[in-house]
């Protein structure tokens, strides 16, 4: 198994209060890993350390034995964070300023096509629905073809129908780009539908966040929440979360 990301001895504190670690985990190249756990257990802190938005107090995050480069990481937040004065196309291509313009235009067009919005390039963010805006945020995260894509509860503000659509879009984009993905969610069904691997975190109330369980649902895709094959996995996951 090719390892895309190796996390070793990762720790983080705020104001001398340990909030995370130690975290030791290796993520397979091209996999979708979902991190789930109660609020305050350190999920977002972990993601920010992986993405270079926070500097850990100890430990390392490496790719292929070398330090992970910020430019090789894409990040999608809970809200789309599109710049309202830029068109959809310019939002998607915002991180590609150093690219040759022709290459950048091709990458933007390909990303918009893959999220199902090939004709929306000239639209402004205010003209988009919530689901469309989050699709554009996904396109922006993947347009540079990063080695690692980090998603912090990207679908939590969407209605259930749109959320299910976005999960399908994410899987489609994953097939197209082959990017290693780490996603945070509070939703068990979302974890089971998307994940090759589910990392259950515990922590909070003075206990540093840590990985308490590591599950690998060996289930064929597409998966549906109503699928009876998910029932046993859901029961196991619910039990682990109730112990948090």
Segment 28-79, tens digit of pLDDT: 999 999 999 998 899 999 999 998 899 999 999 988 778 888 778 999 988 8
Segment 138-172, tens digit of pLDDT: 999 989 888 899 999 999 888 888 888 889 889 98
In the block, tokens 């549906």 appear at: 224
In the block, tokens 């691997």 appear at: 197
Structural domains in the chain? 3-84+148-242 (3.40.50.300)
pTM of the model as a whole: 0.92
Residue 83 pLDDT exceeds 80: yes
pLDDT band for position 2 (cuts 50, 70, 90):
low
Strands 148-152, 66-67: pairing kind: unpaired
Mean pLDDT of 92-116: 92
CA atoms within 13 A on the CB side of 240: 20
Q: What percent of the chain has pLDDT over 70?
A: 98
């Amino acid at each position: 198994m090719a390892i895309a990301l190796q996390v070793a001895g990762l720790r983080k504190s705020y104001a001398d209060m340990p909030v995370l670690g130690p975290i030791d985990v290796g993520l397979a190249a091209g996999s979708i890993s979902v991190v789930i756990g109660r609020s305050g257990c350190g999920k977002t802190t972990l993601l920010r350390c992986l993405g270079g938005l926070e500097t850990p107090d100890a430990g390392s995050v490496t790719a292929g034995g070398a330090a992970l480069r910020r430019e090789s990481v894409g990040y999608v937040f809970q809200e789309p964070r599109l710049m309202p004065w830029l068109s959809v196309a310019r939002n998607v291509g915002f991180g590609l300023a150093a690219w040759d313009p022709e290459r950048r235009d091709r990458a933007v067009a390909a990303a918009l096509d893959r999220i199902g919005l090939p004709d929306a390039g000239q639209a402004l963010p205010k003209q988009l629905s919530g689901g469309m805006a989050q699709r554009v945020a996904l396109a922006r995260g993947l347009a540079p073809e990063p080695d690692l894509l980090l998603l912090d509860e990207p679908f939590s503000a969407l209605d259930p129908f749109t959320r299910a659509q976005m999960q399908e879009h994410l899987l489609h984009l994953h097939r197209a780009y082959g990017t290693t993905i780490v996603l945070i969610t509070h939703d068990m069904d979302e974890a089971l539908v998307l994940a090759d691997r589910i990392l259950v975190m515990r922590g909070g109330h003075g206990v540093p966040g840590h990985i308490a369980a590591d599950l690998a649902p060996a289930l064929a895709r597409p998966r549906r929440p109503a699928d009876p094959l998910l029932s046993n996995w859901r029961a196991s996951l619910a039990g682990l979360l109730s112990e948090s």
